[in-house]
Amino acid sequence: DAKTTQPTSMDCAEGRAANLPCNHSTISGNEYVYWYRQIHSQGPQYIIHGLKNNETNEMASLIITEDRKSSTLILPHATLRDTAVYYCTGGYQKVTFGTGTKLQVIP
Amino acid sequence: EAGVTQFPSHSVIEKGQTVTLRCDPISGHDNLYWYRRVMGKEIKFLLHFVKESKQDESGMPNNRFLAERTGGTYSTLKVQPAELEDSGVYFCASSQTWSGRETQYFGPGTRLLVL
């Protein structure tokens, strides 16, 4: 599985875009990049995934660099309910969570 | 569509006792995973079932932990005998694999406290 590096924490003003970076320089060519989040003590929640192209769904957008060594998760209009720990992971099957980025959305 | 469910939501037991956690995956999902977070640590993988077979149990901490998935539907994780360091939150996830990708859907977790 790819080793990932994320900032420990970030703040974002409510209503603004939250951009969460992730480095995954060891990801192999056929491994998808996945993002999950954990809100407080709930179970982790799937957000989005991608391989090479940028992706968008109802929750977020995912920008993957051309060399696939890094990606950015974008929450276009962060709300207080988006306060959570965000995890990026590469690989297949079992999820390696790491420490993630603790995003605090500020009113 | 019902999500992944776990039972019980909380369990408090004494050291040396036995506890059995249950996970009901999303209907039709062949893959079932167990993870846990012990206090202050990251969420760690425990094991992976494909239908009723154990695909990967490399994360199981020791032989006090026994996971089963009879019939390829729900799964149980038994801890016998429980130790203090087993306290934490146990998550279950399920998924269906297609085209080399796999999105896992997690349950709410079982919070285990061993006294």
Query: Do strands B10-13 and B110-114 pair parallel, antiparallel, or not at all (unpaired)?
Result: parallel
Q: With an 8 Å Cβ cutoff, are A46 and B100 in contact?
A: no
Q: In A, which residues are within 8 Å of B108 by CB distance?
A: 42-43
Residue A1 has pLDDT above 70, yes or no: no
A31-44 per-position pLDDT tens digit: 889 999 999 889 99
A24-70 per-position pLDDT tens digit: 888 887 788 999 999 988 999 999 999 988 999 999 999 999 998 99
Interface test with B, best of A95, A96, A99 (most B CBs within 10 A): A95
B34-86 per-position pLDDT tens digit: 999 998 889 999 999 999 999 999 999 999 999 999 888 999 999 999 999 99
* Burial bucket for residue B61 (CB in 10 Å: 0-12, 13-18, 19+): middle
Residue A7 has pLDDT above 90, yes or no: yes
A12-24 per-position pLDDT tens digit: 999 999 999 999 8
The Cα of B14 is separated from the nearest Cα of chain A by a number of Å equal to 23
Distance between CA atoms of residues B16 and B29, nearest Å: 34
B84-101 per-position pLDDT tens digit: 999 999 999 999 876 667
Q: With an 8 Å Cβ cutoff, are B103 and A99 in contact?
A: no
| pLDDT for position A27 | 82
Please give the single-letter amino acid code of residue A86: Y
Put simply, whether A34 touches B (Cβ < 8 Å) is yes
Q: In A, which residues are within 8 Å of B56 by CB distance?
A: 93-94
